[in-house]
Amino acid sequence: MKKFIAATLALTAFHALANDAALIEETKKTALAIPPKLLQMVQEEINKGSHDGAIAACNDKAPKMAAAASQNTGWAIRRVSLKNRNPKAVPDAWEQAVLEDFDRRRAAGESPANMEKAEIVTEGDKRTLRYMKALPTQALCLNCHGTEDKIDAKVKARLTELYPNDKATGYSEGQIRGALTVKRPL
């Protein structure tokens, strides 16, 4: 009997783990579809030579895409950064710790390209799946997030107008600009 109970408990734990892993996979799949779409949108505007269009893609369309994805899924999806441009893009405690860990991992030589973190956190009786995907600074990003010499004067002026407390400049290629973050209630 004891053996049977132990086996049942082990199986239940195994099923719970397998279920959690499936939930994490599903969350990742949905979240990872977003950054490439955004990147493509910004790239198209830049190719057209439209600074305003590219800024609008980041300023208007990016938050809208995250809001639409949040609405479709019922999860909270947004972007955050340790040096945020949008005053609302401030990480919470869990996100801040993960962003700091991403920076440490990068400093230790890990490529930021596929850097991510998934965890199921429990607060009281609430379980939440938390997922973050690092967004590395690419050459294209320097147009709006790079050092002073990389940002066109017109772009700089528009960014200052839109974000008087902008902290999101001075980056170089390969640094982690921020992350996509998902909070999925379970």
Name which of 110, 46, 117 is nearest 80 in CA terms: 117
Q: Give the C-alpha distances (Å, rounded to integers) separating 43 from 48, 50, 51, 139.
A: 9, 10, 11, 11
Instruction: Provide the mask over 151-170, with x wherever binding to ligand HEC is found by CB under 6 A and - wherever it is not.
Output: -----------------x--
Q: Give the C-alpha distances (Å, rounded to integers) separating 153 from 44, 51, 81, 150, 179.
A: 20, 11, 24, 9, 27
Question: Least distance from C-beta 62 to ligand HEC, angstroms?
Answer: 6
* Binding to ligand HEC in span 109-148, by CB under 6 A: 135, 137-138, 140-141, 143-145
Amino acid present at 109: G
Does position 175 bind ligand HEC by CB under 6 A? no
Does position 54 bind ligand HEC by CB under 6 A? yes
Give whichever of 118 and 168 is closer to ligand HEC, judged by the CB atom.
168
Q: Convert 152-176 into a string of H (helix), E (strand) and C (coil).
A: CHHHHHHHHHHCCCCCCCCCCCCCE
Question: Least distance from C-beta 37 to ligand HEC, angstroms?
Answer: 12
Q: Which of 23, 39, 76, 120 binds ligand HEC (CB under 6 A)?
A: 39
Residues that bind ligand HEC (CB under 6 A): 39, 42, 54-55, 58-59, 62-63, 79, 81, 84-86, 89, 135, 137-138, 140-141, 143-145, 168, 177-178
